[in-house]
Structure 1
């Protein structure tokens, strides 16, 4: 199948938030996501929770490298109490919008159905704190939304997120070098290789497995009886973002002459996207078979990226 780039909605919260903060000079969200290395691998966290992102990777692990590749820097602030966090936020807002996260999505009660922690991370751009609470651009699809201050601070505490620190924000985004998008992609290839090789994990909980082993193990879990929680995680988040990440990776790799790597990434995207229907309707044997087709693609993509890096 010919690769067709995806354009549409989806859970790209930090890439969209970065794009808002960088303004008119922002690369496309396709390139921002690529630069974080998110497409390059799969992990089964703790041996039970699947993510189509690299072994040992978290969003925070990719942010600074992505900004560096794009020619930007920012200042990171972390607070120890909600009082200090609020004071820091209000001070920063006097200079402009503030990038905030991770936050616990389940406490974002402006989103329908959110009534408490669900262990899902999220990123936002805060615009103001006023009498109505916190006003923000929520890239989940809620521009200029408001949230009562107490709910926002509870979400920002991020106690139920398994990485990062409470009350983290980024400010003072500055462009220090003009980098064209193709050069951002090229500059991000070494990090992509490191993550896909599984040699430099940063956040590995006990029992976590990656890439082919993760795909095979998940296939067995689904065949053995897919729980409602696992199915919900896959069809509402993991499959959607995983397919999009790899589709965007294919687009980026093709731009810099990586035709073989782009072809493999596109096929991986197709396979992950193909999981959505069978998982949604309970055709679990079909989903397991797709995962087993997906498994060898990670080593194939690694080989193609190694070839691209040796012959840029």
Structure 2
């Protein structure tokens, strides 16, 4: 299998990897993504746009799942929606090590060149230290050692428009290794977790292969908005391909059937993106039908009991 290394919208996985690296642990973003289980299935929960992830979770919950499955204890902090920004608390926490902040509203991260077009998009960054009225951070979107004004941090970090994440001002600190499971043990743990996810999804109307098929039909009938087409072209298709490939590579030995299906999905995501890049939306619709077919096979695999 040909590996992929390169850029991608892996903000929470990259951020989690950087946080664990602060205690000398080398955990790849790809492994964190797989351990989170977030990018399984498909959903319409956020803005009624097609996302290739599970509707019953969010990236912050996914991070907690990933840390737990990988054997780490990490302190999560979150405030109520009406709370004030805990800047003094964060300042103290950063004296003992970095903190992973998120979700943040990308549209309010003014150092990003295209931030005016990103309102409502969730993001995660690694906070390093606070000096005066500025926060030093690593942004996994490609911007290390950025200084961001504290005055602008409040609205970005409160992230009122990120409705799928509960609370405000969420951050993680103080990771500690509690267990070091073998790849085989981890694989079986994750397969059991995925099976629970798919069993929960089977009665959901707006999830899984059914909505992929519906979007495929809508795309071929030219019923999909330009906003959704841009979402698929700029985000969902390319990140979907990378995520599927990560799953495929991790499970090559422990679950070859699942691995093969995820590899097929990765290739189909790439094909979807190719047609989308040339605005051939009819062919995008036809290719989405193939994606729905593979997702249906994955659903059947887990619901009928995953291979051991």
For normalisation by structure 1, the TM-score amounts to 0.89
Deviation at 1:180, TM superposition (A): 3.4
Quote the Cα distance in structure 1 between the aligned partners of 2:274 and 2:202: 34
Specify whether residues 193 and 102 from structure 1 end up closer, same or farther in structure 2 by C-alpha distance, changes over 3 A only. Answer: same
The structure whose RCO (Cα within 8 Å, separation 6+) is larger is 1
Partner of 1:14: 12
Partner of 1:130: 131
Q: Aligned ranges for residues 1-312 of structure 1 at < 5 Å?
A: 3-23=1-21, 24-45=24-45, 48-80=48-80, 83-115=84-116, 118-131=119-132, 133-164=134-165, 165-199=167-201, 209-223=206-220, 224-256=222-254, 258-305=255-302, 309-311=306-308
Specify whether residues 286 and 10 from structure 1 end up closer, same or farther in structure 2 by C-alpha distance, changes over 3 A only. Answer: same
Provide structure 2 residue ranges, at least 5 long, that are not aligned to the other structure.
none
Q: Give the alignment's Cα RMSD to 1 decimal.
A: 2.3
Secondary structure of 1:295's partner?
helix
The Cα offsets for residues 50-101 of structure 1, whole Å up to 9 and x where unpaired, read as: 1111232321232222211111011111234674511111111111101111
- Is this contact kept in 1: 2:12–2:63, CA < 8 A? no
Quote the Cα distance in structure 2 between the aligned partners of 1:254 and 1:297: 17
Provide structure 1 residue ranges, at least 5 long, that are not aligned to the other structure.
none
- Is this contact kept in 2: 1:43–1:210, CA < 8 A? yes
Secondary structure of 1:50's partner?
coil
Specify whether residues 27 and 309 from structure 1 end up closer, same or farther in structure 2 by C-alpha distance, changes over 3 A only. Answer: farther
The Cα offsets for residues 234-263 of structure 1, whole Å up to 9 and x where unpaired, read as: 11111111111111000011042x111111
Secondary structure of 2:295's partner?
helix
Of stretches 102-111 and 83-92 in structure 1, the one that deviates more from structure 2 is 83-92
Secondary structure of 2:144's partner?
strand
Secondary structure of 1:128's partner?
strand
